[in-house]
Amino acid sequence: MFRRLALFAALALAGCAVAPSHAPPGTPGSEPSGADIRYDALPGRDARTVARMRAAPPPGQAAIEAARDGEDARLSAQGYVRIGRGHFPVERIGRDREEDARAEARRQAAANGAERVLLAPPASTADAAWIADYYVRFRLPFGASFRDLREREREALGAQGVAIGTVVGGTPASRANLLGGDYVLAVDGKPVAGRADFQQQLQRSAGRTITLTLVRNGEKLRRMVKLDAMPAAGGY
């Protein structure tokens, strides 16, 4: 499988990794709620890290949406990273008081700097809390996932390189019209030996324009990519 964007896996580029959460986003009652309203930041998503990695200043007010299947994947494809989860026990909020839950979600979002919130109500009488998942859009100097070539791909291409996976909208990779399934063979004419080598070449080139030699549907192309500057710590 394609690796998730760095920020979702530990990459040699800068070493900012995201530990998996205990349950999918928006899963009501998936963790003990206790009696108090609380916010749990994900490991590696403390306030200083979020401030350093965010793509834009915190908004005046976060956008709150109902948590639905596929919403987490949609936000991830736009470059949003989940930074934490809020728990609003029904003993404090009430089971049917959505406006109160939204008000608490806005308060927490203002405190943690979130830009988007997915809010899930208690789905049954067994659920003990409303669940709010908080997201911030991070800066991605490249903006696409990539993996090593498989043996059959290397044989077909007659070369080493990497395969592009998910391309995040609004990033350098997206603006350069890179597509999932592209094969990158060289950076500025230098052959790409594999995923680790491509990571290192991107890191060395952060903040400047590079030319990628790639193969798409059997056709060799060149794409110029203006990489963003590298954050103090982060991923591609």
Q: Give the pLDDT confidence of 41-94 residue by residue, as tens digits.
A: 998 888 988 888 888 899 989 999 999 998 988 888 787 889 999 999 999 998
The Cα-based distances of 139 to 9, 54, 59, 81, 143 in angstroms read 15, 6, 16, 10, 8
Question: Distance (Å, rounded) from C-alpha 65 to C-alpha 119?
Answer: 6
Which tokens sit at 193?
A: 């030996």
Identify the pLDDT of residue 208: 92
Question: How many Cα neighbours within 13 Å face the side chain of 155?
Answer: 3
Q: Which residues contact 102 (CB under 8 A, 6 or more apart)?
A: 64, 119
Query: CA of 30: how far to CAs of 21, 128, 131, 228, in Å?
Result: 11, 9, 9, 38
What's the pLDDT score for residue 89?
A: 94
**Which domains does the chain carry?**
38-137 (no CATH), 144-226 (2.30.42.10)
- Residue 127 has a pLDDT of 65
User: Pairing relation of β-strands 116-120 and 63-66?
Assistant: parallel
Residues of the chain below pLDDT 50: 1-22, 29-33, 232-236
Q: How many CA atoms lie within 13 A of 169 on its CB side?
A: 6
Query: Would you say the C-alpha torsion 23, 29, 34, 37 has a positive or negative sign?
Result: positive
H/E stretch holding 220 reads: strand 219-226
| Residue 52, pLDDT score | 82
